[in-house]
Amino acid sequence: MKNILLIIIAIFLVACQHGITGYNIEEFESKIESVENSNIQNKKLEDGWYAPSQEKNDFMKIDPKTSMKTYIDPRPIILPENISSFEEFENYEGSKGFSNIL
């Protein structure tokens, strides 16, 4: 879980360094807020990258392998339109991840 969160943050930082595809900051924040509101209203997460939440909410997921409960923050970190492509990689320690290519 920790590795997934680190990968999400890394992709987000790369996206911010190169500019957010098609949006300025205000438009991006507005779009993120709109998706968050839609998620809450529909009780269904739209496509995107999400972070775990420390607070209980309507977006609980259960890991089928461990039966561990995790709550998902309904506010997306990255939307699909912000990633033009990506590739999987493995670092020198053997950890796998994704690299964002804008």
Q: Which of 4-8, 14-18, 48-52 has the lowest mean pLDDT?
A: 14-18
Reported as a pLDDT band with limits 50, 70 and 90, residue 16 is: low
Residue 60 to residues 2, 63, 89, 95: CA-CA distances in angstroms?
Answer: 17, 10, 29, 27
Q: Domain spans of the chain?
A: 2-101
Q: Give me the pLDDT at residue 56, please.
A: 93
Measured in degrees and rounded to the nearest 5, phi and psi for residue 99 equal -115, 130
Reported as a pLDDT band with limits 50, 70 and 90, residue 101 is: low
Q: Which is nearest to 36 in space by CA: 28, 17, 21, 85?
A: 28
Q: What is the mean pLDDT of residues 45-67?
A: 91
Q: Give me the pLDDT at residue 82, please.
A: 75
Reported as a pLDDT band with limits 50, 70 and 90, residue 36 is: very high
Strand, helix or coil for residue 91: coil
Q: Give me the pLDDT at residue 67, please.
A: 92
| Average pLDDT in the chain | 80
pTM confidence score: 0.62
